[in-house]
Every structure is written in structure tokens, then in C-alpha cells.
Structure 1
């Protein structure tokens, strides 16, 4: 007997993407477990339709029309799944809000995620772009995840190495894009926690404190305060957080740029250098400026915002104009973090 799948038709996604773009999906199904995906795979009407895996919608720029089956990952649950002498392993279902997961671990007395506080999105979406902030990336605390493989129609486990994490990148943005739906992630948190406070913003924020006495919760609270001061609340102003990756350049190119622009903001990255994309954009005069209904946030040039009624095409046009201006002035191509759909 053919399964009766709860697929909704012609659904607005305006509340399901942090830019607040008024996109409409041809079809949408909420997914809480692998059994629903198995049922979907058995239905030829829906299994053949192009898919979009949706978490919190915080890393997407949507078109007005989405001719796909949107699979909204809604599974809930957080638990300590294993322990050993050095680590506590925490498993979260894909639909859990990332910040809720961070606060849950802190409530259990577990440090390790505090630098990643208040990052929008869900636990299941976090590995896709290897989220990171304030000197920490997901890969630094990652153990493994489980995902549905649409080709083999089975649940597959991915280790840290198999995820191929890189700067704001993973196998789920590359070879496994649209092939896997992440169901849960498991993080490895240290029993002997030590704070990571080398990032300049954290040093400045805690300058009047004895950093050796700070708790993980206090650091989390500080990160929240810093983010709220610099980044707009998506519930108030539509945005996707930092829009561009910080570009990485060779030592030779860095030296040339530093000679031409002595105030250049950059950081060593191995034998290369990472440039501050926000600074590059600001130097091109874009902070606080707009192009139609899309604009650049007045407090942080790295954030593009929906000023009201912006479409995905509006956001794309603004992003491309900024890329062009930065490349013309600095010879550096900025790469967007969000995925255009």
C-alpha cells in the first residue's frame, strides 16, 4: 500500500529563512526521523522531485519560486550519548536550534561550545558549512553524524574525516550536496575544559576580568553580548549573518596589499593570510548603503540585510556589486557564505 505522505503544496517559506524572503515552495514535508525519508523514497511521485534540505534557513538566499520538494528537518532531542575518560559525547537531533544546544551543554556543566553561542540555525545545518566564530569551528568539537543517503536509501554515519571540513565548507556543500539529509550530530566535549580567548573581540570584552577564572557560561554570555552589538536580529531585520567569507591570500599578495594599504586588517593563516572581508567592504564605502531593497548593515559591513520586500535577486545583485568593487580595488574576490537557491 502506498504511504500517505504529509506533503504540503505551494507553501510560503518567508518564515523559514532568516532573510525573510517571500519565497514559495512547490512542496514541503516536515521530517523528524529516517522512517519518513524511507517512506518518501518508496513514493515515486516525490522521490524523483528535486530536493532542498532546510534547517533554520540561516544560510540561504532563496528565489521567489522554489520548484523543489523542501524537506524541513524538525527532529528534536538532545542527550549525552557516550562518555569516556577524556570526553563527553552529546547527540542532538537535526531540528534542534543551535543556540539551544549550546545552552543545554552549559547547563550540564560541559564547556566547549561557548564560542559558538547565538549562531543562528539548527544543529543539523551546522556541519554543512562547518560553522565557526571567535576562534572555534564545529570541526574542533565534532565526533560524527548520521544522515540519510538518498541514493542507497539507508542511514549512513559520517566521521570527522569523512565530512571533509574546511573553512565554511564540508562534503555536504560539495560531493554530497542534495544527496544527504543530516538526521543528528554528535559532539565531543572535553572533561578538562580550557577556554579559547585568543580572539581579539574576546580579549577586548574581557579585558577587565581575570580570564583564568572565567567559566564557560560567562564566556557564552560575553559572546552573546558581542554578537548582539555587532549583528542585527533576523526577527527584526532580515539577514544571514556574515555574508562573505574572509578571503585567504598568499604571503606575497598580502605583502603587496599591506604596502598599498597600510591599515589592512589581516590575520596569519599558516603560510597564508586571512583578510577581514568586512574591512574590505567598508573601504569601498558600502557600510550603511543600499541597492534597492537590499542593503549593508550600518554597524557591520559584512552583513547584508533585507530592508523590506527584498527578493533573492535583490540580495544577489547587491552581493555581486560588492564583489566587483572589492575586486577592482584590492584584487581580491569575495566568496559568499550563504547558498543561493
Structure 2
């Protein structure tokens, strides 16, 4: 994920990163000009409606672009959240500037071309299997990208500079080592939280007694991304780590063994070998764009939190067959978690 952008678009619940170049995108309505739509309105708001047919098309597109999210579309609460976000995107797209629409058109063309290249010879057959057309995909992306580009164009250089000053610790570059004692061991056997903490304290005791950190990491760490490197992550920006890990790495005295640091992954024993602060002028263009993207997402969050009331949104979704039970869960199973990959350490936050 891009630096300082780990929470970007966090309010949007459907991940389409594989299809488009942003972390999180929401469903948006794809109105068809080819056939009359007499289906029931599932959402009404000041100035517009979203019909059952439109929402069904959007769900098919979501499943096509992000099949791992398909199970959630059977959950009523999830569908309602998506539909409310559709309202926001449909409304905001009509308010976007001509420049935003122009940029979005280029981006949508590029993304569809990329999708076509990725699927190669299976592109047409895959669309047919999903009962979709290229125009459907393009219209979907265009509306989302129009809102995104409009939000980006509203971000000023002064705002980017101020945001950096407020979060400059995220851009500090550090070399560190860590041992992760996970809540699941190397044999995929679950550990209780107390057992993980007990083992983490034992690891710390061995390191405090002079044991070699790299050797200990290779023996005990459950982080596949750093274990073979002796627990080392070299020259990485601290903003790429989950919050608890990041704060520890920002404040821990150099060359000091930390107490166990708890994150959603388990317990970490950390040793920071170096930290180098950065000035704004030293940021890469990608990092500056990451700040800008984060600010754009905040603009959308603000609208979703404070601007939706003015639209007087009314949702009229039929109940699904996968209705939630009294505990709030459904028969679709629990939400899956993403295992850390070799280039995304266990300490690195997955896209929310």
C-alpha cells in the first residue's frame, strides 16, 4: 500500500485494487441507456433514485472485479452500506467539475484496457459468463473515478504540506528487526493470547540475555516476510506498519529490545537499529501523491458522515435469504483475514 495511505477510502467496503489503481472503491450506479428500467427503486434521495436493476448490475460488476468480496453481498447490512455509498457516488459525480470528468474518462479508458490485457484471451468469455459488457464496466469505473478525481482536484498544495507536518513521523525511514509470536503458529495451530504473550516474554528474556536477534527470529518468528532475513526490515517508512507497531518503532530507543508489543497479528519483540527523519522536500512524488489521496478520501468521509443527511436518503432493499442471526453473524461464514505476504510484513497493515 502507498505510504500514509493505509486508511484511504477505508469507508468504502469493496476492494477493487486489482482492477483499478486505488486502494478501496465503492459500488457506483451504472445507468443503462439501452433499455427502459421499470424496476423498483431500492434507494431514493433528493434529486435521484437507484433502481433494483441498477443495483443488481452493480453487484455483478463488484463480483466480477472483486470475487473475494462476493460472499458479503448476501449480507443485508453490507448491501445497505454499499447502496448508501452508491447514492453518495451518484450524487457527487453530478457535482464534479468538467476537469474531473475529463481526467476520469482517461483513467477509466486506461483501467479497462489494463483489465482487458490482464484477462487476455479470456476477457470476452469472462464478461459473457458474468452477463456483463465492457460498457457496463467502463460506466462503473467512470463514475467512481469522476468522484475520486474531483476530490483530488480540491486538495491544495498547502493542505498536502500541512498534512505532512501533522504525520511526518510516518515518513521516518527505519531499519529494524522483530520477532512475531502470532496467534497461529507455523503449523497453523491456534495459540491463545496468554500463550502467545508468555512465549513473547521468553523470547525477550533470551534476547536480553545476549542471544543473537537474527538467530532467535529464524527460530521463533511467525512472520514469513522477515523470518528468513533474521527478522529484519531494512529502510522502510514507519507509516507502512500497523498503528501499535508503528508507535513502538517511532519511540523505542535505538538498539533496545522492546517489551512485547500487541497488534492484531500477535505479539512483537522489536529492536530498532536506525531511524532517519525526512523533510517534505525529500519525499518522492509517490509519497506526496499518497498524502493527496489520503486527503481526498477524508473529503469523501466527511461527506458520508455529514453530507448525506441533506439528501434525505430512503433505502428500500428486500431482505436476502442470508439474513443475519441474533448475534449479527450470517450463514456466509466469518470475514476472511488476509495472510501477510513476503513483501507485506505481518507488521504491515492490510488495506482496510
TM-score, normalised by the number of residues in structure 2: 0.22
Structure having the larger proportion of residues in strand: 1
TM-score by length of structure 1 reads: 0.22
